[in-house]
Amino acid sequence: MKVSIIICTKDRPLDLMICLKSIFAQSVKPGEIIIIDSSNSEEKINHLKEFIRENKIIKHYAVKAGLTRARNIGIEKSIGEIIIFLDDDVILDDDYVNHILKIFDAYENVGLVTGNMIQADMATRTFSKLINNSFIKEIRNVFFFLFFLHRYGNGYFLPSGLPRYIACEKKIKMIECVQGANMAFRRNVLDEFHFDEHFKGYSFMEDCDISYRVSRKYKVIFTPFAELIHKISPVSRDSERYRAEMLLENHFYLFQKNFPQTLLKRFAFWISIIGLFLMATLRLSSNEFRGYFCACIEIFKKKRKNKHKIICHVETMVVEGEKV
């Protein structure tokens, strides 16, 4: 099977170079590497140009676009039967592609495969150091459970619509949600399911959206043998406030779009919003708190606007009915 690897990047030439070198070290080489580059300046990728010229399988496109649009452009430019999306700050194990392909060969009706991604910065985060204490870790887990907050777990969605990304799993397993830094699709699946370009900002949770939709029709499988490291580069990232605003607004959009609007699920959704505010308070993060607050204002504005549209539509129908 011919493999296309798509990397959407912005202002991270050094991270991208390391990622590319790990791709060229693969035991099974891809047929093409497509780079969709939204960098603000060509100067930032000048030292990459020679590397790209020397490696004919790399196709570089300079495109000013958000993440989901960039992903869709990458699909349009690709020709592979299997399309792998990677973040520009990941480093692949030498057998990553090989193990991804083994899953597509071994299982029927597989639409999406994800590998075992290790977050390289977890040991250096202050918050992560605190939760290494078993007592504090248990309190955190109870808090996340009570407020239906996203956490690592079994690879399925919570009633609130937030994901439990799979972690610490040693066996191949069917799941629902994957992380965008590491996902592989069959081409026919991406012909049917496109990335939703309505997500705000750099499209946080766009991976949850497409994996949820694909999982309704095809198998989504995690393999622990396809390993990679996610460095979570500090370069070219939005402010804490904007990330919080984007998370909450995209969470609302995802929930409204994909999940049944039952009383239980709506309850879980709003409880998760309260949990996010409480978490920001416990972290003493005023920027995060303000981001969530701004997002809530936008959500209520949209709900009010939609309600007004419905009322106007009903009134128009009544008037037209009276005329008849």
Instruction: Examine the domain organization and report whether 7 and 95 are in the same domain.
Output: yes
Q: What is the mean pLDDT of residues 295-315?
A: 65
Q: Which residue has the tokens 């047929």?
A: 31
Q: In this predicted structure, which of 79-93, 102-116, 134-148, 203-217 has the lowest mean pLDDT?
A: 134-148
Does the residue 235 lie in any domain? no
Q: What is the mean pLDDT of the chain?
A: 87
* Whole-angstrom distance, CA of residue 114 vs CA of residue 84: 9
Contact (Cβ atoms closer than 8 angstroms) between residue 175 and residue 156: yes
- Looking at residue 84, what is its pLDDT? 99
Instruction: Examine the domain organization and report whether 99 and 16 are in the same domain.
Output: yes
pLDDT at 128 over 90: no
Q: What is the pLDDT of residues 87-98, one digit of tens each?
A: 999 999 999 999
Q: What is the mean pLDDT of residues 127-148?
A: 72
Cα of 135 vs its chain's centroid, Å:
30
CB atoms within 10 A of CB 218: 19
Q: Which of 157, 150, 159 is nearest to 212 (CA)?
A: 157
- Looking at residue 44, what is its pLDDT? 61
- Looking at residue 317, what is its pLDDT? 40
Q: Which of 72, 71, 76 is nearest to 10 (CA)?
A: 71
Which H/E stretch holds residue 61? Answer: strand 58-62
At how many degrees (to 10) do helices 263-282 and 134-146 cross?
140
Instruction: Examine the domain organization and report whether 117 and 254 are in the same domain.
Output: no
Instruction: Examine the domain organization and report whether 160 and 50 are in the same domain.
Output: yes
- Looking at residue 167, what is its pLDDT? 84
CB atoms within 10 A of CB 91: 20
Contact (Cβ atoms closer than 8 angstroms) between residue 29 and residue 53: no
- Looking at residue 311, what is its pLDDT? 39
Q: What is the mean pLDDT of residues 178-192?
A: 97
Pick the more confident residue, 22 or 41.
22
Q: Which of 231, 224, 237 is nearest to 91 (CA)?
A: 231
Q: Give the pairing of strands 110-119 and 182-186.
A: antiparallel
Instruction: Examine the domain organization and report whether 177 and 312 are in the same domain.
Output: no
* Whole-angstrom distance, CA of residue 299 vs CA of residue 302: 5
pLDDT at 199 over 90: no
Instruction: Examine the domain organization and report whether 290 and 310 are in the same domain.
Output: yes
Q: State the pLDDT confidence band at 134, using cuts at 50, 70 and 90.
A: low
- Looking at residue 138, what is its pLDDT? 79
- Looking at residue 302, what is its pLDDT? 78
Range of the domain at 261: 240-323
Does the residue 312 lie in any domain? yes
Contact (Cβ atoms closer than 8 angstroms) between residue 66 and residue 74: no
- Looking at residue 239, what is its pLDDT? 84
3-state DSSP assignment of residue 34: strand
Q: In this predicted structure, which of 18-32, 103-117, 131-145, 254-268 has the lowest mean pLDDT?
A: 131-145
Q: In this predicted structure, which of 150-159, 203-212, 237-246 has the lowest mean pLDDT?
A: 237-246
Alpha helices, DSSP H only, in the chain? Answer: 13-24, 46-54, 67-77, 96-106, 126-131, 134-146, 187-192, 206-215, 240-258, 263-282, 286-323
Kindly state the tokens that stand for 243. 């990330």
The count of domains in the chain is 2
Instruction: Examine the domain organization and report whether 81 and 214 are in the same domain.
Output: yes
pLDDT at 74 over 80: yes
